[in-house]
Amino acid sequence: MTTYCVTGGAGFIGSHLCERLLRLGHRVLCIDSFNDVYDYRIKIGNVLNSTGSTESLSFTDKQTDLQQLPSIVNRDNYKLVVADIRDRASVNAVFASESIDVVIHLAAMAGVRPSIEDPMLYEEVNVKGTMHMLEAMRRHNVRKWLCASSSSVYGNQKKLPFSELDVVDRMISPYAATKKSCEVMGHTYFHLFGIDTIMLRFFTVYGERQRPDLAIHKFMRMLDNGDELTLYGDGSSRRDYTHIDDIIQGMLGALHYIETEERVYEIINLGTHHTVTLIELVQTLERCSGRSANIRWMPDQPGDVEQTYADVTKANRLFGYDPKTDFEEGIARFVTWYRGERKW
């Protein structure tokens, strides 16, 4: 049984990954701070779902709920640690008390626009927090890790599709800059201390359990409530939307690759090699939800890239990555999930 430490394991991507690793018979050590970016109860729901817990939690207040949650979900093959990766002592305490085989580092402050408002917080969590993880790995002889990067590091480059060989020195948001910093620091620890590293550049992940602050979730909520949709630009901006199932398959492939190879430092795109415009996204949501959108158009916002488009040749070559989820099918599944889970 392999022990995987998953930071941000109560979040959207992290909870799906924890669930899959448990189903595969592994042990999961989940670290999450349950910060206030969105309602902490959503993350509690993610943890309960990902662990298959049959017990319920009567929500009272955040401190009490988070004190009770580990006693509900912890078992031999799963342990929840409520901790902030900015707290170096807490991170070291976890590594000192556990025998960890692989770290999957997903914890981060996400989002382009909020990073412009509070860049220092993004540096503190995404850069310093990542260094705390790397230092703990170095000190406790953990030599394998996957780290979440982002397609935002490509900025507004015109060359398409985006390849891992492209020069990425012109980020247009603090969030993107922190992710590039983590890629560089990952290589430093690979070179100096032999920590095998895969940096996964995720391309606009969507699907069941998606965070409520992300576009697809927000648009769906507005459609169902009959609210006006505020769209920025002229609707022609494009994204390479990647369903959570395909992301998890890619992460499992990357795990197998890094666990069976030595001296690994790789940057790898996980996308679909297919783009969808903003207006096509709204039209797909309309079809799948049976709702009509009332759109209010606004100028482009600072930090938003014009398009993302993943070249996934490398992921396919290294571990057979082959995304399967059709966009409309994925949106239909999200709509079904959203309408069934709104109580959270």
* pLDDT tens per residue across span 90-99: 999 999 999 9
With respect to residue 28, please indicate whether it lies within any of the assigned structural domains: yes
Could you give the residue ranges of the DSSP H alpha helices within the chain?
12-23, 40-50, 62-73, 88-97, 112-117, 119-122, 129-139, 174-193, 215-225, 244-260, 278-289, 313-319, 327-341
- The confidence score (pLDDT) of residue 51 equals 95
- The confidence score (pLDDT) of residue 272 equals 96
For the chain, which residues score pLDDT lower than 70?
A: 342-344
Beta bridge partners of 264: none
Place of tokens 């817990």: 53
- The confidence score (pLDDT) of residue 305 equals 80
With respect to residue 231, please indicate whether it lies within any of the assigned structural domains: no
- The confidence score (pLDDT) of residue 3 equals 97
Beta bridge partners of 270: 202
Q: What is the CATH number of the domain that holds 56?
A: 3.40.50.720
- The confidence score (pLDDT) of residue 341 equals 76
From CA 2, how far away is CA 21, in angstroms rounded?
Answer: 9
* pLDDT tens per residue across span 182-213: 999 999 999 999 999 999 999 999 999 999 98
Task: Specify whether 175 is catalytic.
Answer: yes
Catalytic residue among 40, 154, 175, 338: 175
Range of the domain at 36: 3-206+242-271+310-319
- What is the model's pTM? 0.95
With respect to residue 343, please indicate whether it lies within any of the assigned structural domains: no
- Helix (H), strand (E) at residue 291: none
From CA 133, how far away is CA 104, in angstroms rounded?
Answer: 10
Provide the 3-class DSSP secondary structure of residue 27.
strand
With respect to residue 170, please indicate whether it lies within any of the assigned structural domains: yes
With respect to residue 302, please indicate whether it lies within any of the assigned structural domains: no
With respect to residue 79, please indicate whether it lies within any of the assigned structural domains: yes
With respect to residue 222, please indicate whether it lies within any of the assigned structural domains: no
From CA 68, how far away is CA 291, in angstroms rounded?
Answer: 40
Nearest to 103 by CA among 129, 134, 125: 134
- The confidence score (pLDDT) of residue 275 equals 95
Structurally, how many domains does the chain consist of? 1
With respect to residue 61, please indicate whether it lies within any of the assigned structural domains: yes
